[in-house]
Amino acid sequence: MSSPTLSDLPLFPLHTVLFPGGLLPLKIFEVRYLDMARSCLRENTPFGACLLKSGHEVASPGDPSVPESIGCLAEIFECDVDTFGLLLVQARGTQRFKLIDHRVEPSNLLVGDVRLIGEDRPLQGAETLAKFGACAEVLERIIETIRAREPQNLPFVEPFLLDDPTWVSNRLAEILPIPMRSRQKMMEVTDAGARIDVVHHYMQHHQLL
């Protein structure tokens, strides 16, 4: 059975990696992205968030933005305008995709044809389950610490699914000080157990467990 595809998905290349279930706050000022956000809100459609492989977020015709081939759909759930006229957007990651092809529109907006990527494979094995339990405990402590200090600045979208290995490993991959390219590779992994192994090893090595 072939995976679902989307055509003409607007793409937003960024210096960050969005995971499924992740929070993506944006301050938008470029006309092409203002128009994109308005269209997504009006039509209740997602855009694609991709880590920049090369180029700049503010691209020009002679200096195009080149996105990574694996990205994540983002749905806008909150929108406001600040005193300087910037559009303040809160988006939520939903599902990963593989970029099949992309092009630059006359507005300089990137759009692509994408194939959606399925859910993570479930955890297997007693050792991986034990690692998951330890990771969930650390994440719960992190959430409680942030909630106590800055309740308005939680970097995660509720509900907190601390019994879900994909949710836990994604949130830890977002918040741990991991190099951006490594974070991208972790987002691409379709095995929750493999991602749990990586974040568990990282926290063990840095004495966070």
The whole-number mean pLDDT for each consecutive block of 10 residues of the chain, a chain of 209 residues, reads 86 96 95 94 97 70 80 97 89 97 91 96 91 96 94 91 97 95 96 95 89
The C-alpha atoms of residue 114 and residue 84 are separated, in whole angstroms, by 35
Q: How many CA atoms lie within 13 A of 185 on its CB side?
A: 8
C-alpha 42 chain-centroid distance: 22
Tokens of 171: 């949130």
Mean pLDDT, the chain, rounded, equals 92
Give me the pLDDT at residue 208, please: 81
Give me the pLDDT at residue 56, please: 61
Cis peptide before 159 (omega within 30 of 0): yes
Give me the pLDDT at residue 207, please: 85
CATH topology of domain 5-116: 2.30.130
Q: Does the fold of domain 126-205 match that of domain 5-116? A: no
C-beta of residue 97 within 8 angstroms of C-beta of residue 116? yes
* Domain chopping of the chain, boundaries: 5-116, 126-205
CATH code: domain 126-205 is 1.10.4060.10
C-beta of residue 180 within 8 angstroms of C-beta of residue 15? yes
